[in-house]
Amino acid sequence: MTDFDAGAIRAVTFDFGDTLVPVSAAAFRAVVREAAGDVVERLRLDDREAFLAAWAEERDRQMREDVLQDGREMDMGRRFARLIARSRGMAPPPADVRWDDAAVDRAVDPAEVAWALDAYRDRWVAGIPVPEGVDRVLAGVASARRVGILSNWPHTATIEAVVDRAGWRPHLAAVVVSADVGAIKPDPAIFRAAERALALEGAPAGAILHVGDDPRADVAGARRAGWRAAWLHADNAGSPLPGAGRDPEPGAPGPDVEIGRLEEILEVLSEPPRA
């Protein structure tokens, strides 16, 4: 814990998965199954079980290549294009060889990918509940400060749809998603993108607080970007999201504030901003 000065905080960003919206493994599995079923039926592909098995392989491939090797977000549209190509008989490359995406794009109509993304978004919004109290938290923080969402997420439209469905839009000055930015937390580049989106470029160090559950992406990332960080000790052991349940990186900057429930951030910020 550090010397935390709430009066200096002019803006607050929230992580999405497992911070604003807890994601259970069972609900996530159901969303993937339902979206896969929609796509298989609509595009008259092979059976859903084969599609789901390919989905898991392509997700793991994107995690390995895009996130771990290239340090960027996975792209859900790219995943669907590869899955549709596979369903039509295109053989996937071996695990250590990258896809020929130009060949994939010759085999798949962009309208089909767009349709698959919409189906995935709609199943996600319908299948992953948003907790009641989050709207009150966002409204409370937004009454005195700029509020944003800052998320590592492979599909921006899904987050935008949750925001609209939950009625959060009036509270938000910015929604910053790695799928658009290219960089992922903890890369300082995505925190810089959030500063621009919040119109706080060049704000003094410590003027922005980021709230998140992942000690590496959220906490160490924010601190290294010159921000303050609140670590939410979310009960996310059962979450399927990549950042869930991670331990802090040894020697990395720790949080300024620790909270057990999202609502506690209102108390942390009860002192209004001075400027």
Query: Are the C-beta atoms of 271 and 6 separated by less than 8 Å?
Result: yes
Establish if 18 lies at the interface with Mg ion (CB under 5 A). Answer: yes
For Mg ion, the binding residues in 227-266 under the rule CB under 5 A are 243
Tell me which of 17, 22, 154, 215 binds Mg ion, using CB under 5 A. Answer: 17
Residues in contact with Mg ion, counted by CB under 5 A, come to a total of 5
The residue range among 23-31, 38-46, 210-218, 252-260 that interacts with Mg ion, by the rule CB under 5 A, is 210-218
Does the protein bind Mg ion through residue 15 (CB under 5 A)? yes
CB of 51 to Mg ion, least distance (A): 27
- Write down the residue that tokens 């929604």 correspond to: 175
How far apart are the C-alpha atoms of 229 and 2, rounded to whole Å?
Answer: 10
Q: Which residue is nearest to Mg ion (CB)?
A: 18
Residues 96-135 close enough to bind Mg ion by CB under 5 A = none
8 Å CB contact between 31 and 127? yes
Can you tell me the distance from the alpha carbon of 159 to that of 73, in angstroms, rounded to the nearest whole number? 15
For residues 9 and 269, the answer to whether their CB atoms sit within 8 Å is yes
Among residues 14 and 120, whose Cβ is nearest to Mg ion? 14
How near is the Cβ of 246 to Mg ion at its closest, in Å?
10
Distance CA 248, CA 36 (A): 35
Residue 49: exposed, middle, or buried by beta-carbon count in 10 A (0-12, 13-18, 19+)?
exposed
Among 38, 66, 73, 213, binds Mg ion (CB under 5 A): 213
Q: Which residues bind Mg ion (CB under 5 A)?
A: 15, 17-18, 213, 243
